[in-house]
Amino acid sequence: MYVGTLSFDLLLGDVHSLKEKRSVVRPIVAELQRKFSVSAAEVGDQDLHRRARIGVALVSGDTGYLSDVLDRCERLVAARPEVELLSVRRRLHGDED
């Protein structure tokens, strides 16, 4: 069994309140969950209106499949015009970790 995680550090565009931030972040999280059947949530910087941290996790028995899905999640977030992807942290955990 393998667990793959991604942590996205995002800079939001024209956002001036936490309510506007939610209207940008929620659709991204929902699309990740719907398209790729991953667990996704806003996991940090909740009190900052122009920054967001989104976490993604996936469990699989195949590291190739895991890497492929995480790559597609990363491309989806990077392609969103309303956010700037500042950094991505990827981790793969196996049974022996």
| Residue written as token pair 């699989």 | 60
- pLDDT tens for 65-91 read 999 999 999 999 999 999 999 999 999
> Model-level pTM?
0.89
- Radius of gyration over alpha carbons of the chain, in Å? 14
Higher model confidence: residue 47 or residue 97? Answer: 47
Q: What is the mean pLDDT of residues 35-59?
A: 93
63: phi then psi, degrees, rounded to nearest 5: -70, -30
Distance, CA of 12 to CA of 50 (rounded, Å): 5
Contact 78, 85 (CB under 8 A): yes
